[in-house]
Amino acid sequence: MASSSDFDLFRLSEEHDMLREAVRSLAEAKIAPFAADVDEHSRFPQEALDALQANDLHAVHVPEEYGGAGADALATVIVIEEISRVCASSSLIPAVNKLGSLPVQLSGSEELKQKYLGALARGEGMFSYCLSEPDAGSDAAGMKTRAVRDGDFWVLNGVKRWITNAGVSEFYTVMAVTDPEKRSKGISAFVVEKGDEGVSFGAPEKKLGIKGSPTREVYLDNVRIPADRMIGEEGTGFATAMKTLDHTRVTIAAQAIGIAQGALDYAAGYVKERKQFGKPIGDFQGIQFMLADMAMKLEAARQLTYAAAAKSQRTDSDLTFFGAAAKCFASDVAMEVTTDAVQLLGGYGYTRDYPLERMMRDAKITQIYEGTNQVQRIVMARNLP
């Protein structure tokens, strides 16, 4: 995998280019053929998981010392971007594995890293992230899930909502209140396992898009876990959660540009073949202007995302701004590009016989999760470079 020392802001390394080619080939051969069926039947993309694990692409961010590929942040972005180009639901396998496990990587003890990052790298289970609750969305510090110390254990009670890949993942990073008097500084992070007694899941949400990635509530009913499963020190969970999002918002930007690229590629091919008034519609200036605007905005989003990935790799002081900016801009662009792609196909774009209506539906969530774009603008305003 590429190392950060090879990364030039304006030129990808040869290793990064080779990685893109490899992931694109794999995605087109092993993931794309199932994308429509995954969406149509709202089923988990097992074929994608199998293919990604077989090629060590399911959690490329895990460091080599824990058995992972040791990919840098840009390489991780490229993996997610290329999978998203054919199937957004499948891209949430590597994206959420990073989201769920990054708190352990950032703040966990060496024992937690060896155990859980190692298990993730070996493909023994996926990792989900449990922050949001029914009454704590954008105001994550208002969570009610509690963790109470009992000797050498913590006992967790509460409900987490909007948990991506819940029920499929084996491991969960859970944020819970350990000191209600301290608000955000009274929140701690824990690793909870699917098999822990008292862990259960709600019914899958019926969603507009990313239907192949299950989204469910996670119920914690007197879940008793060893004290050494706390991630970092008591009271540092919220800080770890926010630091995690600084890095992983870049992966949502990657997902957005991948979806948009898939839509642009399909629409550009279609307008060369579709004929009206005696010539391909791509010869008409009105169509050309639409494609030009789509490509221009997409490339701007990609460059911002890659710059944010470089800052993520270096943990630059302005990462918070750039992570929010990349996620916000790229997701807005993805929504615009996919909508225009549907328009370019006319009535055909509106049908399930073509992939663009799926891409348009999938793009919408990128403006919402890991912080709505309204929240991203608040984050940017508070962290102007």
- Between the alpha carbon of residue 211 and those of residues 147, 165, 281, 349, the distances in Å are 32, 11, 33, 19
- Between the alpha carbon of residue 129 and those of residues 123, 138, 155, 193, 224, the distances in Å are 17, 15, 18, 12, 18
Whether 370 is a known active-site residue: answer: yes
**CA-to-CA distance for 160 and 176, rounded, in angstroms?**
10
**CA-to-CA distance for 227 and 149, rounded, in angstroms?**
8
User: Position of tokens 């997701």?
Assistant: 331
Strand-pairing partners, residue 159, are: 219
Task: Write down the catalytic residue from 133, 217, 357, 370.
Answer: 370
DSSP letters for 223-287: EEEEGGGEESSTT-HHHHHHHHHHHHHHHHHHHHHHHHHHHHHHHHHHHHH-EETTEEGGGSHHH
Q: Which tokens in the block code for residue 39?
A: 């969406």
Strand ranges (E), 178-236: 187-193, 199-201, 215-226, 230-231
Tell me which DSSP letter residue 136 carries. B
Return contacts of 197-205, CB within 8 angstroms, 24+ apart: 197/223, 197/224, 198/156, 198/222, 198/223, 198/224, 199/172, 199/223, 201/166, 201/167, 204/42, 204/167, 205/162
**CA-to-CA distance for 300 and 327, rounded, in angstroms?**
12
**Where in the sequence numbering do the catalytic residues fall?**
370
